[in-house]
């Protein structure tokens, strides 16, 4: 199935909205950083992400859950804006010499909103819950892969015992999927905990009307702000209404009209319109982990031939498309990792467009003949590459970019078959290896995401058919490097190892990096103190206050 | 009376067959589409489930059993009125529906009323204002019936919310928040009803009873209200069931665009995650509502048209 029209229509609609946005007038608002915060008020946040099926991010573990859980749950550690680990519910930590255990000292006097004290036993209960198959955890479960057990040493000390050293453990513990919940609340049936999770955060969940909104109110006994928060004590806002507005145009219209004050999943055209007006501002908070990239399936023809991979990657120019379709709101990436990752390694030179050389590479690889439609053929087979696209994980601008790549690749003689699929069908296409190109998001804090995405063990599908190594990179020396890096506790040695690994993958032309995973928030200028947590770039409403 | 009882009895039996067919169709259609429901239950962008969790889910939801067995189990449950538990929302389908049906019914019923008012108004205006008005009316109806909900909603939002700042772009739980969704749903249906109504209106206005009414000196409006509308409404009424069905399917788009809770949005979310019990539940409720509206339409038709009652 080839689809060209839909993205164009979407793009036309988006452009129309840009024009509409430009002509609509804005009110006035002041954004004075030195102003005194105002207490009270209700903030309406409109999310364009999916509505979580469970508000406890231990269950499952996806981004929509992380977004909202960041308001009522807290983690043992966090990251500051430099990417360094900072204390949160844990005040200090120490790794044993053999790397096989980590001991955390916990903040004292913290209580969950149901009155249960936060202590070592609570941490143990949480880690046990995540590791219990009955909890149906996926992201959190994977992150604790090397954790054998968690032990309460005393009330304020907890020890993680590992099966092998894990240089990624602290990074993992900054993620909302491993946030700490009230052990009392966790004992309730899953269905109950899913609608009313209990944490130590600045807000607590009071109501969830499905398909509509989650209501959260201020936690009056709040004492545990993260180290880099702007203030201490209770949150300024008295209430948050967390609305689900899936349609991006309606979300933006609601922001313009003032019905909501903050939105996520902002589209490129809206960012441009917002930049021109006075009432709406934007925060660019790229997600950590892997960059948004197209991976080439190296396990089967034609991309099992490195020359064909190189021809594809250096034969298509994606920069022009990114510039026009994203209106300058997305910066081209030449790295496997998000630009917010400290260990991100990039090599722009590898991606210099050279169509003449690409043509030669294809000729050399035996794809020298062209058929009547202009596609290359070899042994009677057309140079066709399948590109399943998950419509649930891709915005219209990105799908239009894929169409442009399709057009450019056609000039080289590639027949790129794009099929737009819902999430479940997309997973199935991947599991059945019915793809040569794929763009799959992966959000995880730290360079350890490389172990998940490019270690050859990631080729073996899970029982579900899902496997993370979509490029099907299978290089024993790379596996060894990644495993060494995963156990290395010296930061600079670790970085060298990860650089080496990234170099190997990029130079093998397995991946065409596009840009950071797009994560933009829009907010009205009456909103002050909004920021995104540096860990997984979810919004923090703790320091937020509203001016009139 | 006996004719009426038989009428209702036949309709009831028909309804049961329709519901069974819907349940069967949905069950197999959802399974024929590739995708592992267990993965969907646990998955989501960027997360892969452990084998232990998947096995547990398969056992818990009976997904490890052969398809025919699953179908039989599901049908057996449905026969006893048990709609099961939603895979994704982890609560009973009945309670999900109880919360999501009222907002959609409110939307659909209001839209149907507005659609009828629009259709009748346009018919009245164009039928008495000459040939040009007739052509304009016809063109408007064709455009209205063909315009996609999504486009219509976007235009209405840009005009009435962004530009004029008159109405909220998303539902706010107030009456003002209801206007745009209702109008979005009503316009295409009004266009369709209007086309059908006008055709029979033109037939009727040339019919002897209209001529004689006019000859007796009744005003044009009087003839329209007392004689023509009743006649012209018949084919439209017969189509009200269809119209209602179209409103329910339009609700999928409208509820998403205007961020309203309801059956349409629930269905969309449920299909995306292969939530078989929930999709089935929504489909059954929609089918039931459809059948009820068709029957009501027939009853109204019999009331308006004395010719049918003798048969």
Q: How confident is the model over A213-231, as pLDDT tens digits?
A: 999 999 999 999 999 999 9
SS3 A200: coil
Q: What is the pLDDT of residues A484-508, one digit of tens each?
A: 999 998 889 999 999 999 999 999 9
pLDDT band, very low/low/confident/very high, at B238 (cuts 50, 70, 90): confident
pLDDT band, very low/low/confident/very high, at B142 (cuts 50, 70, 90): confident
Portion of chain B with pLDDT greater than 90, in percent: 14
Question: CB distance B168–A142 less than 8 Å?
Answer: no
pLDDT at B79: 86
Q: What is the CATH number of domain A287-517?
A: 3.10.105.10
For residues A217 and B150, which has the higher predicted lDDT (pLDDT)?
A217
Contacts of residue B47 in chain A, CB cutoff 8 Å?
A: 60-62, 138-139, 142
Q: Any idea where the domains of chain A sit in the sequence?
A: 42-261+526-546, 287-517
pLDDT at A463: 53
Most confident of A475-489, B16-30, B39-53, B226-240: A475-489
ipTM of the complex: 0.80
Q: What is the pLDDT of residues B245-270, one digit of tens each?
A: 888 888 889 999 999 999 998 988 88
Nearest CA in chain A to B40: A424
Nearest CA in chain B to A191: B90
SS3 A220: coil
Length of chain B, please? 311
Could you say which residues from 522 to 541 on chain A have a Cβ atom under 8 Å away from some Cβ of chain B? none
The Cα–Cα gap between B234 and B238 comes to 6
The pTM for the full model equals 0.85
Q: Which CATH architecture has domain B94-304?
A: Orthogonal Bundle (1.10)
Rounded to a whole number of angstroms, the distance from the CA of A233 to the nearest CA of chain B is: 32
The average confidence (pLDDT) of chain B is 81
Length of chain A, please? 548
Please give the distance of CA A289 from its chain centroid, rounded to a whole number: 7
Q: Which of A141, A427, A443 sits opposite B39 (nearest CB)?
A: A427
Taking the CA atoms of chain B, what radius of gyration do you get in angstroms? 24
Answer whether residue B9 shows pLDDT above 50: yes
pLDDT band, very low/low/confident/very high, at B273 (cuts 50, 70, 90): confident
**Residue B93 contacts residue B84 (beta carbons within 8 Å):** yes
Q: Which residue, A396, A393, A327, is CA-closest to A9? A: A396
Residue A242's beta-bridge partner residues? Answer: A45, A214
Taking the CA atoms of chain A, what radius of gyration do you get in angstroms? 24
For residues B24 and B63, which has the higher predicted lDDT (pLDDT)?
B24
pLDDT band, very low/low/confident/very high, at B204 (cuts 50, 70, 90): confident
Contacts of residue A429 in chain B, CB cutoff 8 Å?
A: 34
Q: What is the DSSP letter of A96?
A: -
pLDDT at B46: 43
Residue ranges with strand state E in A52-202: 77-79, 85-87, 90-95, 101-106, 147-154, 157-162
pLDDT at A338: 94
The Cα–Cα gap between B255 and A385 comes to 37
User: Which residues, given as ranges, of chain A have pLDDT below 70?
Assistant: 1-34, 461-466
The CB density around residue A124, as the number of other CB atoms within 10 Å, is 18
Rounded mean pLDDT, B130-138:
78
pLDDT at B49: 64
Contacts of residue B272 in chain A, CB cutoff 8 Å?
A: 392, 422-424
Contacts of residue A463 in chain B, CB cutoff 8 Å?
A: 51, 54-55
pLDDT at A21: 37
For residues B294 and A110, which has the higher predicted lDDT (pLDDT)?
A110
Question: Residue B243 phi/psi, 5° resolution?
Answer: -60, -40
Q: Any idea where the domains of chain B sit in the sequence?
A: 1-84, 94-304
* Token couple for A168: 């990624």
Q: What is the CATH number of domain A42-261+526-546?
A: 3.40.190.10
């Amino acid at each position: 199935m080839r689809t060209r029209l839909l993205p164009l229509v979407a793009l036309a609609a988006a452009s129309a909205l840009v024009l509409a946005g430009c002509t609509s007038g804005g009110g006035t608002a002041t954004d004075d950083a030195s102003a005194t915060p105002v207490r009270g008020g209700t903030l309406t946040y409109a999310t364009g992400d999916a509505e979580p099926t469970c508000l406890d991010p231990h269950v499952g573990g996806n981004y929509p859950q992380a977004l909202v859980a960041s308001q009522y749950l807290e983690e043992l550690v966090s990251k500051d804006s430099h990417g360094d680990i900072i204390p949160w519910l844990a005040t200090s930590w120490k790794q044993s010499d053999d790397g096989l255990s980590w001991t955390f000292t916990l903040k004292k006097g913290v209580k969950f909103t149901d009155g249960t004290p936060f202590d070592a036993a609570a941490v143990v209960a949480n880690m046990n819950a995540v590791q219990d198959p009955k909890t149906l955890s996926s992201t959190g479960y994977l992150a604790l892969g090397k954790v054998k057990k968690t032990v309460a040493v005393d009330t304020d000390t907890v020890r993680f015992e590992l099966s092998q050293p894990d240089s990624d453990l602290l990074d993992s513990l900054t993620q909302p999927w491993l946030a700490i919940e009230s052990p009392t609340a966790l004992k309730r049936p899953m269905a109950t905990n899913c609608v009313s999770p209990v944490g130590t955060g600045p807000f607590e969940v009071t109501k969830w009307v499905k398909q509509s909104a989650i209501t959260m109110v201020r936690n009056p006994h709040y004492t545990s702000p993260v180290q880099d928060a702007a203030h201490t004590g209770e949150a300024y806002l008295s209430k948050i209404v967390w609305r689900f507005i899936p349609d991006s145009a309606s979300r933006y219209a609601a922001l313009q009209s003032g019905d909501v004050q903050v939105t996520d999943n902002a589209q490129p055209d809206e960012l441009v319109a917002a930049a021109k007006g006075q009432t709406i501002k934007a925060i660019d908070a790229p997600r950590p982990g892997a960059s948004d990239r197209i991976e080439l399936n190296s396990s089967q023809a034609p991309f099992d031939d490195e020359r064909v991979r190189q021809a594809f990657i250096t034969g298509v120019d994606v920069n022009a498309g990114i510039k026009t379709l994203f209106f300058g709101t997305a910066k081209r990436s030449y790295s496997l990792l998000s630009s917010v990752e400290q260990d991100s390694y990039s090599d722009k030179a590898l991606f210099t467009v050279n169509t003449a050389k690409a043509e030669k590479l294809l000729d050399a690889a035996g794809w020298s003949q062209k058929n009547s439609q202009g596609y290359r053929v070899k042994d009677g087979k057309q140079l066709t590459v399948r590109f399943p696209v998950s419509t649930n994980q891709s915005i219209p601008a990105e799908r239009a970019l894929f169409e442009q790549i399709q057009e450019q690749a056609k000039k080289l003689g590639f027949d790129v078959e794009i099929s737009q699929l819902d999430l479940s069908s997309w997973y199935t296409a991947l599991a059945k290896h019915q793809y040569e190109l794929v763009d799959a998001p992966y959000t995880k804090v730290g360079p350890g995401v490389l172990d998940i995405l490019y270690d050859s063990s990631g080729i073996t599908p899970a029982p579900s058919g899902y496997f993370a190594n979509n490029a099907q990179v299978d290089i024993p020396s790379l596996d060894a490097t990644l495993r060494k890096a995963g156990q290395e506790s010296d930061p600079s040695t670790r970085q060298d190892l990860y650089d080496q690994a990234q170099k190997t993958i990029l130079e093998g032309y397995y991946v065409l990096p596009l840009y950071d995973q797009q994560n933009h928030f829009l907010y009205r200028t009456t909103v002050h103190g909004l920021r995104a947590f540096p860990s997984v770039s979810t919004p923090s409403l703790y320091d937020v206050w509203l001016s009139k | 009376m006996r004719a009426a009882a038989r009428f209702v009895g036949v309709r009831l039996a028909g309804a049961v067959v329709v519901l069974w067919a819907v349940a069967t169709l949905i069950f197999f259609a959802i399974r024929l589409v590739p995708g592992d429901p267990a993965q969907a239950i646990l998955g989501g962008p960027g997360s892969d489930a452990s084998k232990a969790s998947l096995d547990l889910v398969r056992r818990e939801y009976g997904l490890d059993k052969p398809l025919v067995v699953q179908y039989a189990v599901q049908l057996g449950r449905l026969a006893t009125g048990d709609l099961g538990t939603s895979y994704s929302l982890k609560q009973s389908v009945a309670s999900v529906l109880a919360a999501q049906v009222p907002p959609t019914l409110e939307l659909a019923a209001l839209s149907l009323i507005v659609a009828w008012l629009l259709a009748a108004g346009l018919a009245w205006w164009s039928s008495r204002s000459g040939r040009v008005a007739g052509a304009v009316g016809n063109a408007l109806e064709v455009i209205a019936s063909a315009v996609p909900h999504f486009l219509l909603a976007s235009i209405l939002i840009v005009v009435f919310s962004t530009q004029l700042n008159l109405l909220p772009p998303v539902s706010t739980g107030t009456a003002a928040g209801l206007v745009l969704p209702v109008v979005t749903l009503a316009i295409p249906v009004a266009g369709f009803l209007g086309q059908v109504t006008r055709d029979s209106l033109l037939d009727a206005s040339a019919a002897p009873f209209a001529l004689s009414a006019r000859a007796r000196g009744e005003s044009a409006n009087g003839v329209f209200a007392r004689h023509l509308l009743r006649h012209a409404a018949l084919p439209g009424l017969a189509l009200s069931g269809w119209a209602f069905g179209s409103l329910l399917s339009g609700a999928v788009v409208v509820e998403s665009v205007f961020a309203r809770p309801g059956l349409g949005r629930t269905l969309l979310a449920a299909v995306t995650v292969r939530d078989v019990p929930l999709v089935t539940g929504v489909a059954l409720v929609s089918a039931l509502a459809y059948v009820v509206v068709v029957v009501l339409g027939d009853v109204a038709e019999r009331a308006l048209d004395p010719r049918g009652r003798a048969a």
